[in-house]
Amino acid sequence: MEMRQINYFMEVAKREHMTEAADALHVAQSSVSRQISNLEAELGIDLFIRDGRRVKLTPIGKIFLMRMIKTTNMMEEAKREVKEYLNPESGTVRIAFPISMAAHTLPSVIYAFRMRYPEAKFQMSNALYYDLINGVVHGDFNLAMIAPMPLKEQETRISGTNLFTENIIALVPIHHALANRTSIKLEELKDDSFVVLPEGFVFRDQVIEACNKVGFSPEIAFEGKDIDALKGLVSAGLGVALMPEMTLVDNTPQSTIMVPLSNSNLSRTVGVIYPTQRKLLPTEELFYNFLLETYDKKN
């Protein structure tokens, strides 16, 4: 089994088309077909169901693909690890994060880290809550900022550290009846329309659960695809929203007012997670320790 065969196999599996895979690989379609056939002959199985040049993975082909993704990730990490042991201060940190941390939390700490290590590089991606956990487990990235922190007894495949706890606050239109208050109770918004994130976002679930705990189910008027969309909906007077406080630092839209909530339990933990089954690469470990140092000073 050759690395070229594996690369061809993964490209065909991704595109489900021999010719399109060949174009992406900049080789002849006949070469791709031949290498796939050689790989199947060596393994003694059919990896694809063929329909002309269009193909689909067989059940065993899907299993083989998952194994090859993990294998290639490990090979890439091994190469990076060798480079970074020679000079960890100029390596790469692969980190993922929820969209709520895109505007302030992560950029500010990356800026501070690169002030200390200016040659360090970052590969960043955002994902939903459970995709962050699965991405760390399966090697798509080694670090992820996350909120709230998963409970250790619920998720044994990852480890991590709480960095800080942030308040949840209300964002209301500027002419809202409660806009001039120094603080409010969440239940005072029970007659308002809410704007929330779509289903699948853990923070949406947290908002609904918080409302339920104080005795009402929020009337959901609109959904926004991200935090900035929610801000725009509130600014347009289409409802109120609950927000993590950090998402509004230096970024409160016009025609809105932040109002603290006096309910003492309205907060979320923010932390960083990493896999229990793999070591962090040197530059990633450098960044992880920098996170601990940074937030320890702030707490």
Tens digits of residue pLDDT in 24-54: 989 998 888 898 899 999 999 899 998 877 8
CA 113, CA 286: separation in Å to the nearest integer? 9
pTM of the model: 0.67
On whether residue 76 sits in a domain, the answer given is no
What per-residue confidence (pLDDT) applies to 210? Answer: 93
Q: Are residues 114 and 192 in the same domain?
A: yes
Helix (H) or strand (E) holding 171: strand 158-173
What per-residue confidence (pLDDT) applies to 185? Answer: 95
DSSP string, 32-82: HHHHHHHHHHHHTS--EEEETTEEEE-HHHHHHHHHHHHHHHHHHHHHHHH
CA 107, CA 113: separation in Å to the nearest integer? 10
- Provide the CA 261 distance to its chain's centre, in angstroms: 27
Q: Which domain holds residue 17?
A: 3-69
What per-residue confidence (pLDDT) applies to 231? Answer: 93
Query: What amino acid is encoded at 5 in this protein?
Result: Q
CA 198, CA 246: separation in Å to the nearest integer? 20
Q: Are residues 215 and 250 in the same domain?
A: yes
What per-residue confidence (pLDDT) applies to 261? Answer: 94
On whether residue 77 sits in a domain, the answer given is no
- The answer to whether the beta carbons of residues 139 and 77 sit under 8 Å apart is yes
CA 278, CA 108: separation in Å to the nearest integer? 27
Q: Are residues 111 and 242 in the same domain?
A: yes
How many CB atoms are closer than 10 A to CB 129?
Answer: 18
Enumerate residue ranges in the chain where pLDDT < 70. Answer: 84-86, 153-154, 264, 297-299
Please give the tally of structural domains in the chain: 2
CA 155, CA 61: separation in Å to the nearest integer? 28
What per-residue confidence (pLDDT) applies to 154? Answer: 62
On whether residue 272 sits in a domain, the answer given is yes
CA 125, CA 98: separation in Å to the nearest integer? 9
Helix (H) or strand (E) holding 159: strand 158-173
What per-residue confidence (pLDDT) applies to 298? Answer: 64
CA 13, CA 73: separation in Å to the nearest integer? 17
Q: Are residues 24 and 105 in the same domain?
A: no
On whether residue 74 sits in a domain, the answer given is no
What per-residue confidence (pLDDT) applies to 297? Answer: 64
Output the domain CATH number for residue 108. 3.40.190.290
**String of b and e for 157-191 (b: at least 16 CB within 10 Å)?**
ebebeebbebebbbbbbeebebeebeebebebbee
Q: Are residues 50 and 176 in the same domain?
A: no
CA 12, CA 208: separation in Å to the nearest integer? 43
What per-residue confidence (pLDDT) applies to 277? Answer: 85
